Amino acid sequence: MGLVLVAGAVTAAKGRWGWVLLGLLTGGFLWLLTAFLAPSADSFWARRVRGAAST
């Protein structure tokens, strides 16, 4: 259960809100797959990675 919640948090941080909603409907198991998708360009995850890479 904890792994599913972590995957949901990663999916949300990557700005994949449609997948977050679908995951809520399916009990979160889609998040285990969607956590591996590339982040949206303007997501929290992408900003953090780009910020670290540019220093």
Residue of 33 and 52 predicted with greater confidence? 33
Structure tokens at 7: 């995957």
pLDDT of residue 9: 95
Q: What is the pLDDT of residues 1-47, one digit of tens each?
A: 899 999 999 999 999 999 999 999 999 999 999 999 998 888 998 88
What global pTM score does this model have? 0.78
pLDDT of residue 49: 82
pLDDT of residue 42: 87
DSSP 20-51: HHHHHHTTTTTHHHHTTSPPPTTSHHHHHHHH
pLDDT of residue 53: 55
| Spans of all domains in the chain | 2-46
